Amino acid sequence: MEAGYALACQTTVEGDLVVSIPPQEKIERRLKEGKRAAKVELPFHYEIHDQPLRKYTITLEPPSMQDQTDDWSRLRRELERRYNLEGLRIQLAVLKKLGRILREGEWTVTTVVELDAWDRPDGPPCVIDIMPGEHLESLWAVAIDIGTTSNHVWLVDLISGEVMAQKADYNGQIARGEDVISRIIYASKGQRGRETEKQKSEGVPILDLQSLGKGESGLEELQRLVMETLNRLIEEAAQERGISTNEIYKAVVAGNSTMIHLFAGIPPETIRLMPFVTTINELPPLRAHAVGLNINSVGRVDCLPGVASYVGADITAGVVSSGMCKTGSLSLFVDIGTNGEMALGDCTWLISCACSAGPAFEGAGVVHGMRATAGAIEEVWINPESFEASYRVIGDGKPRGFCGSGLISLLAEMFVSGVIDKSGNIRLDLAGLEKPARSRLREGEHGAEYVVARADESATGEDIAITAVDIDNLMRAKAAIYAGFSILARSVGLSLADVEQVLIGGAFGQYINVENAIQIGLLPDKPFESFQFLGNTSIKGAYMALVSREMRERVREISKMMTYLELSADNTFFDEFNAAMFLPHTDESLFPSVKKNQKNHEET
């Protein structure tokens, strides 16, 4: 309180108050600037004929007193005959303009036709748009990844199959909770409009009418917020290519089960309650207007199928885009975020699980944690003699805190240099040495801490330190993930030594220093070449499912064939977790490379 702040969790609100949020806790609104979208390569040859979406230009005989066939029958008759279609249908939205467009185009029109029926590849095709004249130059669609933290939209030209624009931003739901659990709790709130009315009648001034008003339930608000983010990204992508969003006729969506529920406006409540089931793992195809997605209103929205509450479509999409389901080598796929979701298997079998790692690797639950934006320390080096720290900061400015990869690096360096012991305890005894490190190792407000950047070097004017509590959180996170690996392997009678490749998905995975991650026992001890960093495998999977019928079918197959292991029902989890609560692990034989390279600071 003297320092000018209070812990919200320990403060009782007794009257009106103003809450100031320290800068490093504020959500950064922009994903890393200046990051250029890389050209996306498909691992297969694109075939337009593989598309269930087509454009056909057709010229009709105009009606006459001798042929008074209605407009739709006239168009259908000719489309069916020319393109060998059967049972062709039409959307009401298209019927509403059919008469006008046929005449504007003087009986030459371009139609957009979905060849796949609603969820049935053998079902009847459907006209979803019509325009006057010939317009065969492009056919647009989007791949969407709804992350709990960030959302990605790729605009795809289905004529060439190429990604023509990539946009990303933080999920607009973030201000309503940083992880899926808080989102689920927020979604279960009733209509906030009622509170507002009450507050109004009591004369309480409403500061944020926009988010309070509208009589929205928490669920409706979260759906609106994510849709606002996605719609802005779609609009930006469309603008970049100079097209209208009405020209986008399809969306394929990946995301974890909670994000997909919120996207569709389905209450996610049961996901967080025993026995942790979703309402639905594979949504039926939707029309864009049914959820409010800003593409053509009757454009089809396919949400990719997930496997379970905590192994969602982001993982099935990730597994497909990783290629692990096509290889004969035993592969381990992992997507580290708030939850560590992972899958083990090859082309013949797959088993998956999710461990609640907590948000430590995302910079939350750590005093000086932050997202991977400008000012985040992303790598740390500690001099094993002087215990002096040096570091690299994203954007090269002054540091403001640690992002996830910085924390992994820091933990590894502290361990290797001996600042912490196998159990993760900060060795304050080292502070007694007559070395400049003295001031870096100290007893702080939250227990022992190690200062990485001193107040005079930091952007915040405060010491940037890691505390014993932070370390405990990081240890729990890495232990949960490693326990997951172990149990997955053992459940099928294998050991992690049998794993031939480790595929790391998720934006976060791209920035992990493998050596550091092995040193702390987060990743299994394998040669560097066993690891592949795949970036955002969720959006890649959505893109593949969008452009390839085979990939779409593979995602569905995987969602059906993948075994899900519920760790909270596994009675060995606790043992495995405890065994992994050491650096790198209780069983050092699992990490031979760490043992070999580690300087021995232990009392032996």
* Residues contributing to the site for a copy of itself (CB under 8 A): 63-73, 87, 89-90, 92, 95-96, 98-100, 103, 118-120, 123-124, 264-267, 269-270, 274-281, 283-284, 286, 290, 308-309, 564, 566, 568-569
- Report whether 542 contacts 254 (CB < 8 A): yes
Task: Name the residue nearer to a copy of itself (CB basis): 64 or 348.
Answer: 64
In three-state secondary structure terms, 340 is: strand
Task: Name the residue nearer to a copy of itself (CB basis): 130 or 451.
Answer: 130
In three-state secondary structure terms, 564 is: strand
Judge if the upstream peptide bond of residue 584 is cis by omega within 30 degrees of 0. Answer: yes
The 3-class secondary structure across 410-442, one letter per residue, is: HHHHHHHHCCECCCCCECHHHHHCCCHHHHCEE
Q: Which two tokens stand for residue 296?
A: 């053509």
- Shortest Å, Cβ 465 to a copy of itself: 41
What backbone phi and psi angles, to 5 degrees, belong to 444? -110, -170
In three-state secondary structure terms, 367 is: coil
Q: How far is CA 138 from CA 53, 240, 241, 527, in A?
A: 12, 15, 11, 46
- Shortest Å, Cβ 93 to a copy of itself: 9
- Shortest Å, Cβ 63 to a copy of itself: 5
In three-state secondary structure terms, 513 is: coil
Q: What is the DSSP track for 99-143? A: HHHHHHTTTEEEEEEE-SBTTBTTS--EEEEEEES---S--EEEE
Burial class (CB in 10 A: 0-12, 13-18, 19+), 82: exposed
- Report whether 573 contacts 357 (CB < 8 A): no
- Shortest Å, Cβ 387 to a copy of itself: 47
- Shortest Å, Cβ 72 to a copy of itself: 4
Task: Name the residue nearer to a copy of itself (CB basis): 305 or 505.
Answer: 305
Task: Name the residue nearer to a copy of itself (CB basis): 43 or 99.
Answer: 99
Task: Name the residue nearer to a copy of itself (CB basis): 268 or 524.
Answer: 268
- Shortest Å, Cβ 122 to a copy of itself: 10
Task: Name the residue nearer to a copy of itself (CB basis): 217 or 548.
Answer: 217
Task: Name the residue nearer to a copy of itself (CB basis): 163 or 286.
Answer: 286
Residue 238, phi-psi category: left (phi > 0), alpha (psi -120 to 50), beta (remainder) = alpha
- Shortest Å, Cβ 64 to a copy of itself: 5
- Shortest Å, Cβ 488 to a copy of itself: 17
For residue 583, give the DSSP letter: S
Question: How far apart are the C-alpha atoms of 24 and 372, rounded to whole Å?
Answer: 11
Of 323, 329, 356, nearest to 537 by C-alpha is 323
- Shortest Å, Cβ 66 to a copy of itself: 7
Task: Name the residue nearer to a copy of itself (CB basis): 55 or 76.
Answer: 76
Q: CB under 8 Å to 87, separation ≥6 — which residues?
A: 124, 125
Task: Name the residue nearer to a copy of itself (CB basis): 280 or 492.
Answer: 280
- Shortest Å, Cβ 308 to a copy of itself: 6
Task: Name the residue nearer to a copy of itself (CB basis): 169 or 570.
Answer: 570
